Structure 1
Amino acid sequence: MLPGSTLTVALAAVASSLVLAACERETETAAAPTPRPVRTITVVKRETGTPLTFTGRIEAEDEVSVAFRISGRLLANDTKLGDRVKAGQVLAQLESQNEMNGLRQAQAALAAAQGQLTQARNHFDRQQTLLAQGWTTQANFDVASKAQQTAQSQVDAAEAQLKSAHDLVSFTELQADAPGVITATGPRAGEVVQAGQMIARIARQDGRDAVFDVPAQLIRSASPNPQITVRLTDDPKVTAQGRIREVAEQANPVTRTFEVKVGLTDPPAAMRLGATVVGQVQTNAGPMIEIPSTALTRMNQQPAVWIVDPSTGTASVRNVDVSRFDEAQAVISQGLDTGEIVVTAGVQALHPGQKVRVLGSGP
């Protein structure tokens, strides 16, 4: 048997060894954290474009507001929304007493000027005859000639004033310059209107547009000169084809969208002015990468995604360019390649170089 002191020393040594072994096992356990579980997808490219739909309205291709050229009090205005008008049809009238008085004054002024011209011509003819016979002087003849020219100028001025007076009288009637449909009306009879104030708006019957408010990114993603299918919202069987005719140069200050006018080819009669329609257009059919929107995060104030390295099982973050985004999916234009593994769930809890475990795979 070992002496008591020797036994005590041996037991202490064994205990120290056990403590050191336990510490080493704890250190090894702390150094090997459990991989974080994540969900992923493998990047693939699609070769077909995505159809985009947006809601709009039917408007006239050519719509004009008509107004009086002069101010006055409305005597009559019987225009109603939806009325069909013909070219030359009277739409409204102003009280014309002042203009008629001006016309009569101009007629009287012309008559007086014509009388003076007749008198000046007779005097000129007499002076011309007397000068030829030697009974008058050259100075008298020159005075008569000048008086005739002055009288002729006064007649010309009076005729111009009479024409202007006739125009003012005609301006008291507002006529349609082309056939069409009334789409808006202005002041009614009895109101005083100013020159240029809208009395009615006419949609001329020479074309129909489908008008949409479109985000800038959809304009960029659409094919050049795309064929657009337009359908009535209340009857999708009523369709028409069209192409973009005009894109607004400036965005709406409230919605930040651009007004796009689509010229329709032979639109059916059911597509009346103001009808609500749905337009569908195909985006560019180039290769696209789509990922769930939950995969997006941010790095350096730019969109980014987490990439899983299959050889090491670690995650790294990478910036990407997003060409289109909605609540479900994001279209990536640059930053990803086919076959790469992108984290779609758990992106907020990752850090660079972290070990991950794809859910559904082995530990």
Structure 2
Amino acid sequence: MSITYRKIVHPNGALRVVPFVLLGALAGCGQEVAKTPEIRPVRTVVIDPKPIDDDRQAVGEIRARQEIDVGFRMAGKLVARTVDIGASVKKGDVLARLDEQDYVNRLRSADADVIAAEAVLSEAKGAENRLGQLLASGTTTRPNYDAALKNLRSAEARLDSAKAALALAKDQLGYAQVRADFDGIVTATGAEPGQIVSAGQMVVRLANPEEKDAVFAIAESAFRDRSPNDRPEILVSLLSSPNVTTEGVVREVSPVADPVTRTYLAKITLKNPPEPMRFGASVSGRLKTTTAPVAVIPGSALFDKGGKAAVWIYQKAGTVTLKSVVVARYEADRVVVSEGLAKGDIVVTAGVNRLREGQKVRLIEGAAE
């Protein structure tokens, strides 16, 4: 208790000093008022693990399973290309031609060389025959006959060489044209008439329309928990018309990731692809499988526990406890949990970063779904 004195002026003008008594707080300085525990309202979801369709999708395109670059076996000037992109060709059809004049001249020269070699051979045969008779009668020497025999053998060899050159010249003249190796469709061209092309340069790209592949760039996570020899079935549909679908089987997966995108090229052989699935068409593909029973929760329910995924579980006592889970995969608006949650668990889905172990909470009306 403390006393304070104040001056008060009386109505008659007299000045008086009046003491005021101030009472101190009864409570000690070290005492605090007890606080009511905070009870946070939360939204929750009731866990019911079920198998779900593997709805992860990839976008790719339709390509030919058999596609070859057609070019000339020798260099020359391209004088004609008889097909354009999109043209259908039959086996043996001429696709392009080089200037043939040089090869025609080579063929004529080789033909003349054969005729000359045949004449030399005929002369050598006659000389060998005559000297052989003279050697038998003793009117010539052995060295003379041996020289004639050597000339005969040389003439025979030159004729063989001339015939080989003639066959090569004929082949080269034939190589001045490129023909289709199978019935197909032209998907690209690489040279125009008047252009000088080198041996092996792509002039026309030819694809077999009977066999089609759907080609996708697949992330590394898609191969998790799968055997390297696993060849699952894939459901493929057109992006422009999802009702146009077909099935396929994984035929080939690239063993090396793309150095830029870090994805793997997967080729899916299509079973009886519909006509609208033309080369270059954009398609989507997903696994034609279902998962083991899993729990699906909103992404907002996840909590980071030492770098690992966890969720807050609502208990009957009205408190929450943190539980670690194993995430199978992350999707756009949800998380698929493969381990850690059981049927009937109540998971908090909102405000998880403001909760603490054992905290009292209350369910928002209709929050447990």
- Aligned partners of 1:300, 1:170: CA distance in 2, in Å? 73
Q: Paired residues, what number?
A: 343
| Residue ranges of structure 1 left out of the alignment (5+ in a row) | 1-10
1:129 to 124, 133, 139: 133
- Aligned partners of 2:161, 2:310: CA distance in 1, in Å? 79
2:206 to 202, 205, 213: 202
| Structure-1 residue corresponding to 2:175 | 171
Query: Is the contact between residue 43 and residue 340 of structure 1 (CA under 8 Å) also seen in structure 2?
Result: yes
The answer as to 2:27 corresponding to 1:19 is: yes
Q: Offset of 1:60 from its aligned partner?
A: 1.7
Root-mean-square deviation over aligned CA pairs = 3.0
- Aligned partners of 1:146, 1:336: CA distance in 2, in Å? 97
| Structure-2 residue corresponding to 1:324 | 329
* Counterpart code for 2:215: V
* TM-score after normalising by structure 1: 0.82
Q: For the pair shown, which has the larger CA radius of gyration, 1 or 2?
A: 2
Aligned in 2, Cα 1:334/1:177: closer, same or farther, shift over 3 Å? same
* Counterpart code for 1:204: N
Q: Percent identity among equivalent residues?
A: 37
For residues 113-128 of structure 1, the aligned pairs below 5 Å read 113-128=117-132
- Aligned partners of 2:241, 2:226: CA distance in 1, in Å? 26
The answer as to 2:141 corresponding to 1:141 is: no
The answer as to 2:189 corresponding to 1:189 is: no
| Structure-1 residue corresponding to 2:255 | 249
Once the two structures are superposed, residues 264-307 of structure 1 have per-residue CA deviations (whole angstroms, 9 ceiling, x without a partner) of 22223333222333334334431222221112243444444444
Range 302-311 or range 70-79, more displaced: 302-311
| Structure-1 residue corresponding to 2:354 | 349
2:349 aligns to what SS in structure 1? strand
2:113 to 109, 112, 126: 109
1:169 aligns to what SS in structure 2? helix
Query: Is the contact between residue 315 and residue 350 of structure 1 (CA under 8 Å) also seen in structure 2?
Result: no
Range 194-203 or range 114-123, more displaced: 114-123
Q: Offset of 1:172 from its aligned partner?
A: 1.2
- Aligned partners of 1:81, 1:161: CA distance in 2, in Å? 37
The answer as to 2:284 corresponding to 1:282 is: no
* TM-score after normalising by structure 2: 0.81
Aligned in 2, Cα 1:312/1:271: closer, same or farther, shift over 3 Å? closer
More helix by share: 1
1:157 aligns to what SS in structure 2? helix
1:63 to 62, 67, 74: 67
* Counterpart code for 1:89: D
Q: Offset of 1:232 from its aligned partner?
A: 3.3
The answer as to 2:319 corresponding to 1:313 is: yes
The answer as to 2:158 corresponding to 1:150 is: no
Q: Offset of 1:317 from its aligned partner?
A: 6.0
Q: Offset of 1:244 from its aligned partner?
A: 1.8
Q: Offset of 1:176 from its aligned partner?
A: 0.8
| Structure-2 residue corresponding to 1:81 | 85
- Aligned partners of 1:315, 1:213: CA distance in 2, in Å? 41
* Counterpart code for 1:214: I
2:27 aligns to what SS in structure 1? helix
Moved >6 Å (runs of 4+): none
Q: Offset of 1:23 from its aligned partner?
A: 5.8
Query: Is the contact between residue 217 and residue 323 of structure 1 (CA under 8 Å) also seen in structure 2?
Result: no
- Aligned partners of 1:273, 1:50: CA distance in 2, in Å? 27
Q: Offset of 1:215 from its aligned partner?
A: 2.8
| Residue ranges of structure 2 left out of the alignment (5+ in a row) | 1-20
Once the two structures are superposed, residues 101-151 of structure 1 have per-residue CA deviations (whole angstroms, 9 ceiling, x without a partner) of 222222222222222222222211222222222222222222222222222
Aligned in 2, Cα 1:258/1:284: closer, same or farther, shift over 3 Å? farther
Q: Offset of 1:325 from its aligned partner?
A: 0.8
- Aligned partners of 1:220, 1:165: CA distance in 2, in Å? 58
- Aligned partners of 2:285, 2:279: CA distance in 1, in Å? 16
Once the two structures are superposed, residues 194-221 of structure 1 have per-residue CA deviations (whole angstroms, 9 ceiling, x without a partner) of 2221111111133122223333333547
Once the two structures are superposed, residues 61-108 of structure 1 have per-residue CA deviations (whole angstroms, 9 ceiling, x without a partner) of 211111111111110113211111111111111112222222222222
The answer as to 2:223 corresponding to 1:215 is: no
Query: Is the contact between residue 75 and residue 95 of structure 1 (CA under 8 Å) also seen in structure 2?
Result: yes
